[in-house]
Structure 1
């Protein structure tokens, strides 16, 4: 949240919500309450107030989304009365940190101002409207869906991907629905609102920009350049304003410097030097020391204070052309960062439902899955300082898109002025956070301008390129040149290059999922893969909490309400073909599609990481959900970690061993010039995303599912720090004698190498002869849950406990395990409801048990 001074008085009590202009299809039974008003929570949103008042059912349940579309067609009015007494303050400003979206603000019948951008704050001089005693504050919001449509009809429709004209407003795009998101475009005072009463001087903003310079004998010195913007109250002459900036290090050491804002000016700059500074590092690269910052401005008989934190580090983005195209190489403190990323969407369809604790749990989900970067996607918001604070503390890197996604945007006024205002405010607000390492101009708009048939629809109108090439980089160059900028994702960093060219910059891969089998990932060699993914349903309890079709069916009405992708469940079915058997029951469908999602994404990540250092990162789509839905998420809306999450943790391990097809030297020599040779060997690729070299011997075996060894070899692996090693597996080991019953296994001979065993199968599950019941499970109650002791008599592939089936609050500490014959593992289940251990044992599934099914689930 934006730093609030001590002079700010929140006006969050006593609000009511009424329908200023009810939609024609608003329910008749709600009319009296909508006219009289219902209690409203501020900060909050209209949908939530209506639900609390009992006027609507849970928006996420069943088909309530369709029944509640009238909310987005309604103009809403928030009103409150507050007491006020005159005091010694020279200025009284009404401050609204977030209004969603097109709004008129009145105080005691006087209009203070209007807003039409949810991404920025507003401040209005309230002195002429305030009165002693009771004051009435009213905020009236235009109905967002008709407002967006009216602007499109007035100014011209612009290409977009959804059924609403979301790109006509500076409002969170995904609130209008997305291919994973519910359509709940509404209205609300979504951030604090209140009075700021002050005298003398006010600190309007602080940009504490950092740098690190090398000193003698390996030492580093920090430089903080604090840009302080102030406002004077106008009651005194426009005099010089003294500034003092103090830093306090993690060891308690304090560093200070002073400066001034000159008379007639509104900004001053103060530089503070920190000898022997402790540098901030990303997770896996070092520690995250943070320095507290205090800024004090004094003038006109008053003073103002600002507090924040910084971390000292440098950030670079290298896109210099090379022999293979151009990389997308991120460096922090001069050290290469191999990105293991996840895309981030708003963590709830109703933003005010996300508090710091929920953000903290998502950060845990990311870091425990070995994710080192979150990309804040452009159809959402400029994310909260709560999320950024947590990332600062934990070393999680952040990539922030400007909020432009999958659409053309007007470059005319007033849109252009609003875009500049929001960019200036949010670049300033987020500038203290060391975790923020890159700004990105848009999501897929540049790509869309080339490939999505916009030219004929635009008829010569601009589509937003001015923002991405001029306005936004210009704002960053002025306000925060310490961070790199990318105009778009995907983007190829060069004129006359296709934006999604795998040879340059960033790439998105969406033919996999939409049209192609996930094995097609192996055809690509991206320099940096910033979007890709595959769908799967949420946990069983999450799904059945909101889907009530009888019988439950993949193509049931409510199921499809909770599947927003075009032909999504048909694509799920196509996606498992050739990999997994057709499911016989709805439970099998659920497990099959979850498992196939995990297999698909793990296949893609392991392939891409095996290309290190040609490839320098991957950002899977997506970490989280904003409601209960079938989607690409690794963690569902009810906070269950799907099988995909466990696959992600394995594929993103800092040290990864993977078998990959490779072309031999002979095949390369025989290939036509310029053509990629066909793979004719199997290689063990060891990726080493650590500071230490990884060298030693590995044992590679070909084993039968019963554990008997058919062939064996020892190979030498020498993987440099932040690099990879590729070793050809001898053909006598790599060649399957019976693909349906054998597996390749590679294990580091050093048990402290920190690399999980690599496996390669000769056939897909559907063609394997796996034992249908390979496990012996011993279940025992323990404090807070139970333990499941698993022992494999034969290869048990992808063991997963669907603990939530027994208790929706239950969680297993690990999942998607593969146990070879004779191996054992223990699953620890935490269960708030105290589920029966035998029931948890019965909730264990494997890929093996799918082979007992037959047929296709679901009607068309």
Structure 2
């Protein structure tokens, strides 16, 4: 039987003649940080102090003994970052140039000093650029010339920390006769039965040895022979339970085990968990254009999504528990789809396992983002090998429902001035429209593929045409107000978002000793977007009187504006289902402390946006919006059953006066949207009026003017506290009340975000991690909109 020996002990990192203790898996930065050689690059402006690390060559060493008595011993690296030479007692075993691949070297009977020497990623990328010619990109760093996590070179939310190291596990594998080299599990549903077809490749030491495989799943067993180096075994479960996205059903998972046999001797085993479900991407044309709708088990879905970036700029630090924490936060916010963005990595099995269990659909980008990528060697062969390996690696996961060729590169070619600059040079089109769809069709025909995001499906249309396929909505935020979300109904909004700073406690940890201001040195360093603070200021000015010189108010209002912006988009687009079939927020998470579009900051603290997502992505949603016939109440029902009842509509003055009231009946079919016209006499007019709609504990509000024009009364409310609870009762209108729990204690968390209270209404906020409840402290941590600011 194949035996694996992890290589985790005895590694050192060579630095200026010293052998520093090294952690494998890990990276140079984390080892240098642990040894006290570099400061924490997440703190203050230390990022610039450690830039030299990415420009250096590095070597890892350990002692290796491969003498096991087996016929063959392989040295296996699941991931090397990125350009490396592997030597044993100074003799080359091989070389690598792709972070996204695994590597295997025959070391049978060998022992000695194992060295892994990493070249600078800059040196290698710049050499490829010089050889193949420069290509346009969104950033000046040379990330398109190397198969490495692009965002380690920096992004508009991330630091420039160019890593190197043994970033995924390393081991020795000892085996005899034969081993399982690859298994492709084609999992389908046919005539109501679950079917698993396992296509197996084996590697042999003895060509003549007769081999067979035996597989089991759900109590069903099957056996087949190996013809040369390949074989196929098929299993059918007539009573298999279907795997569903969260909110649509349960997530039953089945253990599959495949054993490679030589007679009665078990040589190797392969184990995975699978789920039975069908997935189709409906891109058929209709009267509005070209749709983009995911269909799982025959059920058409409005995707409630978030974009995922690497959860740490040093990915080796993200372990199973951290993945599960972050993805559980996503699921608890009502998310049912996570897009793994193309400037990052193919995540570890722990990520996809959690998505399988939580019912989170995964849209997986191939790692290409915001650049023209050369298609010549040595890159082309690396891209194909990487794609083939990762498609097969991730195939068992039922959560994976879509392969996507790239992020914004088709759009960039057409719209960002690339086409004339390239003058006929390769730029990646052959990958996205040729190589990658062929690899997916050959290796994983059970899943759909799309060429890019955004992509309209044809060069006959603009790549980012909102009426066709996927759309990225970035005019809002970059140039115009979020009210412009209401001007169009894209078929599927794969990126949109608005910035805000992280939680106050996160800033205090990242910028110790700094007097915080929107434009203080540390705040500016932790704002990576082009003119990010300018866009924040202009976005605020459209709605609020700017709080000059008051950082705490600026911090609160920018977080309010982020939540309001995202709400404007999602409410509008969900109300137009099925014309619009999904929204994928940019972004769920952060990789370091930064002002960004994230709903959860890098310390794991939820911004107000996160709590707003819980409302926006709930099965049922109320929203008020304009239609050609006038103001309507839209009742969005993503639950399976009919939603019917009575909605209460109230026209009110900001001083609390009731100006008009009506109850209206509604019926919203399961997975549908109903609209009820708002009576003309209830339509608010002027800055002093607003409309309140209530139904089944849900609420929608519509104010007729921006906050800076609204004559809000001075907010008055009473606060009481008890262990784990803060209760607020309003005596006036209180708009967007927020308890910033981390101001009570850095460990404290509140269970809700922004809430608007009418006079006489109250709310009880649960607080975890606050050990000494104090009413004065609670009141000081409460913020709301006052006098338009």
Q: Which TM-score applies when normalising by structure 1? A: 0.90
Judge conservation of contact 2:182–2:201 (CA < 8 Å) in 1: yes
Q: Does 1:744 align with 2:691?
A: yes
Give deviations 1:125-151, integer Å, cap 9, x for gaps: 1126x13xxx21100000112221222
Q: Does 1:363 align with 2:327?
A: yes
CA distance in 2, matches of 1:832, 1:168: 49
User: Which of 690, 713, 734 is the equivalent residue of 2:662?
Assistant: 713
Q: Does 1:323 align with 2:315?
A: no
Q: Per-residue deviation at 1:716?
A: 2.9
State the Cα RMSD in Å. 1.5
CA distance in 2, matches of 1:549, 1:329: 50
User: Which of 195, 204, 209 is the equivalent residue of 1:232?
Assistant: 204
CA distance in 1, matches of 2:761, 2:376: 65
Give deviations 1:416-457, integer Å, cap 9, x for gaps: 111111111110010000000001000000000101111232
Structure 1 residue aligned with 2:760: 822
Judge conservation of contact 1:797–1:818 (CA < 8 Å) in 2: yes
Q: Per-residue deviation at 1:524?
A: 1.7
Judge conservation of contact 2:744–2:770 (CA < 8 Å) in 1: no
Q: Per-residue deviation at 1:82?
A: 3.7
CA distance in 1, matches of 2:655, 2:386: 62
Q: Does 1:348 align with 2:312?
A: yes
Q: 1:716/1:494 Cα in 2 relative to 1: closer, same or farther (>3 Å)?
A: farther
Q: How does 1:407-446 map to 2 (within 5 A)?
A: 407-446=371-410
Q: Per-residue deviation at 1:339?
A: 0.4
Structure 2 residue aligned with 1:481: 445
Judge conservation of contact 2:256–2:274 (CA < 8 Å) in 1: yes
Q: Greater CA deviation, 374-383 or 608-617?
A: 608-617
Q: Does 1:391 align with 2:355?
A: yes
Q: Does 1:125 align with 2:63?
A: no
Judge conservation of contact 2:5–2:171 (CA < 8 Å) in 1: yes
CA distance in 2, matches of 1:715, 1:494: 45
CA distance in 2, matches of 1:480, 1:657: 40
SS in 2 for 1:304: strand
Q: Per-residue deviation at 1:574?
A: 0.3
Q: Per-residue deviation at 1:489?
A: 0.2
Judge conservation of contact 1:388–1:433 (CA < 8 Å) in 2: yes
Judge conservation of contact 1:706–1:793 (CA < 8 Å) in 2: no
Structure 2 residue aligned with 1:858: none
Structure 1 residue aligned with 2:247: 284
Give deviations 1:464-493, integer Å, cap 9, x for gaps: 111111111111111111011110000111
Give deviations 1:816-860, integer Å, cap 9, x for gaps: 111111111111111266564531332011123x64x6xxxxxxx
CA distance in 1, matches of 2:287, 2:599: 36
Give deviations 1:566-592, integer Å, cap 9, x for gaps: 010111000011212211401111111
User: Which of 738, 742, 753 is the equivalent residue of 1:804?
Assistant: 742
CA distance in 1, matches of 2:134, 2:5: 42
CA distance in 1, matches of 2:177, 2:81: 32
User: Which of 704, 707, 726 is the equivalent residue of 1:788?
Assistant: 726
CA distance in 1, matches of 2:586, 2:276: 30
Q: How does 1:473-512 map to 2 (within 5 A)?
A: 473-512=437-476
CA distance in 2, matches of 1:687, 1:831: 35
Structure 1 residue aligned with 2:236: 273
CA distance in 1, matches of 2:710, 2:91: 75
User: Which of 7, 14, 22 is the equivalent residue of 2:10?
Assistant: 14
Structure 1 residue aligned with 2:719: 777
Structure 1 residue aligned with 2:559: 594
Structure 2 residue aligned with 1:314: 278
SS in 1 for 2:159: coil
Q: 1:550/1:735 Cα in 2 relative to 1: closer, same or farther (>3 Å)?
A: closer
Q: 1:728/1:379 Cα in 2 relative to 1: closer, same or farther (>3 Å)?
A: same
Structure 2 residue aligned with 1:79: 61
SS in 1 for 2:698: coil
Q: What is the number of equivalent residue pairs in this alignment? A: 787
Q: Does 1:378 align with 2:306?
A: no
Q: Per-residue deviation at 1:10?
A: 1.1
Q: Per-residue deviation at 1:692?
A: 1.0
CA distance in 1, matches of 2:328, 2:785: 28
CA distance in 2, matches of 1:118, 1:543: 32
Q: Does 1:55 align with 2:37?
A: yes
SS in 2 for 1:432: coil
Q: Per-residue deviation at 1:550?
A: 4.5
Q: Does 1:223 align with 2:205?
A: no
Q: Per-residue deviation at 1:604?
A: 1.1
User: Which of 697, 718, 726 is the equivalent residue of 2:675?
Assistant: 726
Judge conservation of contact 2:303–2:584 (CA < 8 Å) in 1: yes
Q: Does 1:203 align with 2:180?
A: yes
Q: Per-residue deviation at 1:302?
A: 5.2
Q: 1:457/1:494 Cα in 2 relative to 1: closer, same or farther (>3 Å)?
A: closer
Q: Per-residue deviation at 1:642?
A: 0.2
Q: Per-residue deviation at 1:758?
A: 1.4
Q: How does 1:625-640 map to 2 (within 5 A)?
A: 625-640=590-605
CA distance in 1, matches of 2:104, 2:766: 52
SS in 1 for 2:137: coil
Structure 2 residue aligned with 1:689: 638
Q: 1:550/1:626 Cα in 2 relative to 1: closer, same or farther (>3 Å)?
A: closer
Structure 2 residue aligned with 1:515: 479
CA distance in 2, matches of 1:329, 1:283: 17
Q: Per-residue deviation at 1:706?
A: 4.5
CA distance in 1, matches of 2:563, 2:202: 52
Judge conservation of contact 2:470–2:492 (CA < 8 Å) in 1: yes
User: Which of 817, 820, 838 is the equivalent residue of 2:776?
Assistant: 838
User: Unpaired runs of 5+ in structure 1?
Assistant: 20-33, 215-219, 249-253, 665-680, 854-860
Judge conservation of contact 1:339–1:618 (CA < 8 Å) in 2: yes
Judge conservation of contact 1:391–1:398 (CA < 8 Å) in 2: yes
Q: Does 1:621 align with 2:586?
A: yes
CA distance in 1, matches of 2:658, 2:157: 46
Q: 1:243/1:83 Cα in 2 relative to 1: closer, same or farther (>3 Å)?
A: closer
Q: Per-residue deviation at 1:725?
A: 1.2
Structure 2 residue aligned with 1:185: 162
Q: How does 1:431-470 map to 2 (within 5 A)?
A: 431-470=395-434
Q: 1:772/1:195 Cα in 2 relative to 1: closer, same or farther (>3 Å)?
A: same
CA distance in 1, matches of 2:717, 2:363: 43
User: Which of 606, 612, 617 is the equivalent residue of 2:571?
Assistant: 606
SS in 1 for 2:63: strand
Give deviations 1:144-169, integer Å, cap 9, x for gaps: 12221222122211111112110100
Q: Per-residue deviation at 1:607?
A: 1.2
Q: Per-residue deviation at 1:58?
A: 0.5
Judge conservation of contact 1:779–1:838 (CA < 8 Å) in 2: no
Q: How does 1:158-197 map to 2 (within 5 A)?
A: 158-197=135-174
SS in 1 for 2:285: coil
Structure 1 residue aligned with 2:17: 35
Structure 2 residue aligned with 1:525: 489
User: Which of 75, 82, 96 is the equivalent residue of 1:101?
Assistant: 82
SS in 1 for 2:286: coil
